[in-house]
Every structure is written in structure tokens, then in C-alpha cells.
Structure 1
Amino acid sequence: MSIVEKILGQGNRRTADEYEELDLEKYEDEVASPEVRRHVHIAELRGQEGVMDVKDLVYDGDIVLADISHFASNDKRFESLMEEFRKVADEVGGDIVQKGDDQVIITPGSIAVSREKITR
């Protein structure tokens, strides 16, 4: 007698005929699909008019990847833009990272952007 048989017993072995087929369609409505809580948005900023939209998205808990290539990095508008995004990230407890000269990632609270690059 094996150890498994000692624990579970030798008893009655079940056959496939003893199992009942369930109609899963009856239960599909009862199982709610998980609700999407956060989104990742891609924004292409050409001027100040898109800044408010980006800020609203971050305040709502979404992540924004913004293309800022239309701003020169030595431009005062660029510095103003980055300062606004830093304030938003601070206010929501989020994070902000500039990737190269043309992209910035802004996250809401509880989401941080890793500064470690994956190179393989």
C-alpha cells in the first residue's frame, strides 16, 4: 500500500461517468470581468493647449507618455512645461521621468518609473 493510498484510502475509484458536465454559460454572467482602473495615454504636445489634458489624466490616476519633441530643451516654454509636470507628479505622489529629449513619462501615485535600463 502506497503512502498516498494510506492517506486518501484505497477505496472507490471514480470513473468519468460519475462526473457531471456543467454548462458554463450559466455562470459567465455571474463572474464579472475585472474593471480597468488605469490607462496609459500617449500624448503629442505641440503647445500649451495639451498640457491641461495631460494634467487632468494624471490627476485621474492614468499614466501619460508625452512626446515633447516640439519643444526645444533650451526654450523657456520647455522649462515651464516640465515644471508644471513636476508639480502635478508631486501633488499626486507620482513620478516623472524624461526619456531623451523628446519624451516624458508622468505617473500617478503608487506607480514609479524605474531608472534602471534593461539591456540584453
Structure 2
Amino acid sequence: MGIMSTILGGGDSHSTEDYVELDLDDFEDARGDAGMRVHIAEIADSGDIIEIKDAVYDGDFVIADITRHSTTDSTVEHIIDELRQVAREVDGDIVQKGDDQLIITPTGVTVSREKLNG
């Protein structure tokens, strides 16, 4: 299973220990000063969205875990509405993957609604 499949896979709760840092020393010069970062976030309550909003406003990409909430939970609806507004404001994108993840992108980045492999 690839790293993105692990990150985007559904259902399981992950901690920072679940992500393995790969040695990129050989690629440091090739990477240069990358402007966008990808953040992994967990939304436990509505207060957690402040950092997500800040990251998106700063031009970063966020994958947010919402497994602590039911999809019928009004808190999730409120969180999604707030993050949808942020995506609109920055001309980014937002999608919900399954019942457990939100993907929020910065200016000019869209998420394809079709899988690469079918």
C-alpha cells in the first residue's frame, strides 16, 4: 500500500508516529524552496479549524481527519460550512473523502473527483 493510500485510507485513526519521515537529503537541491506544504490535521471540535484555516490562507494543503464526528453531527456540518467558505475565499477547493476526511486546498489547487486507477 502506498504512502498516500495510507494517509488517505479510511477509518483508522493515525498519530504522528504512524508517519515515517523519508530521507530527502539527496533531493534537497531539487526541491528548492517549495511554497506549499501538506498538513495532516485532526478535528476534535470547532476550535481545531482555526489552524486549518490559517494554513489554507497561507497557501498550504490540508488533509483533516473528522472521524471523531458522525456525518449527521451538526458540528461537522458547521465545520464543513466554515471550511467551504475559506476554500471559496482563496479560490481553492474542498472535498469530503468518505465519512472521515476533508481535503482543503489553497488558491488554484483543485481535487479531482475521479480516481487515477479507476
Compute the TM-score of the two structures, normalised by the length of structure 2. Answer: 0.72
Gaps of 5+ in 2: 1-28
In structure 1, what is the equivalent of residue 43 of structure 2?
45
Gaps of 5+ in 1: 1-30
2:56 is matched with which residue: 55, 58, 65? 58
4+ long deviations beyond 6 Å: none
- Tell me how far apart the structure 1 counterparts of residues 31 and 45 of structure 2 sit (CA, whole Å): 39
SS of the residue 1:36 aligns to = coil
Q: 1:33 to 1:100 in 2, by over 3 A?
A: closer
Percent of residue pairs identical: 49
In structure 2, what is the equivalent of residue 85 of structure 1?
83
Kindly provide the CA deviation profile for residues 9-45 of structure 1, in whole angstroms up to 9, marking residues without a partner as x.
xxxxxxxxxxxxxxxxxxxxxx897212110000011
In structure 1, what is the equivalent of residue 67 of structure 2?
69
- Tell me how far apart the structure 1 counterparts of residues 104 and 30 of structure 2 sit (CA, whole Å): 30
Aligned residue pair count? 90
- Tell me how far apart the structure 1 counterparts of residues 38 and 31 of structure 2 sit (CA, whole Å): 19
Compute the TM-score of the two structures, normalised by the length of structure 1. Answer: 0.70
When Rg is computed on C-alpha atoms for both structures, the one with the higher figure is 1
Note the 1:1-120 alignment, pairs <5 A. Answer: 34-119=32-117
Q: CA deviation at 1:118?
A: 2.1
SS of the residue 1:56 aligns to = helix
Structure of higher RCO (CA pairs closer than 8 Å, 6+ residues apart): 2
Q: CA deviation at 1:48?
A: 1.5
- Tell me how far apart the structure 2 counterparts of residues 77 and 49 of structure 1 sit (CA, whole Å): 11
Q: 1:114 to 1:72 in 2, by over 3 A?
A: same
Q: CA deviation at 1:50?
A: 1.0
